[in-house]
Amino acid sequence: MGLFGRRSKDIDLPDKFKNSVIYPVSNKLYTVRLGQNITVNKGWSVVFVVKEKPRDVMSEGVHELSLPNLPGSTRALKLDKGRVKRKSNKVELELPKTFKCDIYYVNNKPIADFLWRSGKVPVKSKLYGRYKVNLYGTLDFKIDNSSKFVSLMLVENSHIRMGKGEKILSDFFNEEIADSVLFSNFFNPGQFADKANINDFLLNKLNENFEQYGLHVEKVNTQNVEFFGKINEQIKRQDESQLQSLETQFDGVPDTQTVQQTVVLQQPTPEERAQAEEELQALEAQPERVVVGAVKQKQKQSISDVQTEINESLFGTSRIDVTEVDKIKLDKKDNNQKE
């Protein structure tokens, strides 16, 4: 027995690998001793691989490594057949106490910000000719089926060594993204600049290929796009041409601040507004017929000019005193009474 009553050979996940995607218990075939315990952490699962194929999967908890708990491995190695052993006149069936296999811890929790890079992908455009583009960014994914995922990881590898699982998975992502871009309908730099469209495109392509291996990509984030070749000079010349066109188009047009200042200066001051109101009240005090006529004919004249014209229309002179006004009013009243 080991410390705290545990067997010294029990299997568990080391703390330094708890942020990994996949963790192999050993860098070579592991010798399983029947009766050992294996601890599977929350959010993880364990896959037993025999002859480069996943045979058994264990979920969260503490499990004893026994033939009944490992049916797939037992059938693949025929462990239940045992070995016939003769003692004197007796024949006994001896079951194995150990067997060899690969054991992988698989992380089933959501994994975020996994780096990817397409590498230089050749692109041909009618407008820009041949050039190369490199995209890179991050993605979020989750492993839903550990057995299928381990099958994917073992496609090009007979065994996964410690710390190499992330590199293998990254190569799969990078290769799939590069092929998706290569055979896509993206030809011009403007299309690559639309990162939201690129993200949706890559998300669909990745899930088309990886969901069959128990891996679901939840989000793709394209962080940057690089161009290689003469296309950079063409883009620079095009940007300069567009800038000159904009400068020519807006040449001589005042800016917003100047326009606002001009509008403010054209508005009357409070003193001017008060003076205009006083003059208007003075005009309204005169007979309506004369005031309206004068205003209509002399809208652009000053108030003093209009008043002068009103005096000349009514009294035949521009300057009159009070006595003359009274006399004129009395004469008009007498004439009206006679009529």
- Burial string for 281-312 (b: 16+ CB within 10 Å, else e) reads eebeebeeebbeebbeeeeeeebeebbbbbbe
Tokens of 285: 């005090």
Topology classification of domain 111-229: Tetrahydropterin Synthase; Chain A (3.30.479)
The lowest-confidence range among 33-37, 144-148, 257-261 is 257-261
Residue 274 CB neighbour total at 10 angstroms: 11
Tokens of 228: 């290689």
- Please give the pLDDT value at position 3: 39
Taking the domains of the chain in order of start, what are their residue ranges? 3-107, 111-229, 235-267, 271-338
Helix (H) or strand (E) run with residue 117 in it: strand 111-117
The lowest-confidence range among 21-25, 93-97, 256-260 is 256-260
State the average pLDDT over residues 138-145.
97
To the nearest 10°, report the CA torsion of 270, 273, 275, 281: -140
State the average pLDDT over residues 177-194.
86
- Please give the pLDDT value at position 184: 86
Please answer whether residues 88 and 57 qualify as being in contact, where contact means their C-beta atoms are separated by less than 8 angstroms.
no
State the average pLDDT over residues 259-276.
59
How many CA atoms, within 13 angstroms, populate the side-chain half-sphere of residue 82? Answer: 9
- In angstroms, rounded to a whole number, what is the distance separating the alpha carbons of residues 166 and 160? 10
Q: For the chain, report the end-to-end CA distance as a whole number of angstroms.
A: 141
Please answer whether residues 216 and 207 qualify as being in contact, where contact means their C-beta atoms are separated by less than 8 angstroms.
yes
- In angstroms, rounded to a whole number, what is the distance separating the alpha carbons of residues 308 and 268? 25
State the average pLDDT over residues 214-229.
92
Which one-letter amino acid corresponds to residue 328?
A: I
Q: What is 96-145 written as a DSSP string?
A: PSEEEEEEEEEE-S-EEEEEEE---EEEEETTTEEEEEEEEEEEEEEES-
Residue 38: is its pLDDT beyond 70?
yes
- Please give the pLDDT value at position 90: 72
Residue 179: is its pLDDT beyond 90?
yes
For 80-113, what is each residue's pLDDT tens digit? 887 767 766 776 777 888 999 999 999 999 999 9
- In angstroms, rounded to a whole number, what is the distance separating the alpha carbons of residues 267 and 265? 6
pTM exceeding the 0.85 threshold for the entire prediction? no
For 280-324, what is each residue's pLDDT tens digit? 677 666 654 444 444 444 444 555 565 665 555 555 555 544 455
Q: Which residues, including other chains, have CB under 8 Å from residue 125's CB and lie 6 or more apart?
A: 131, 187, 188
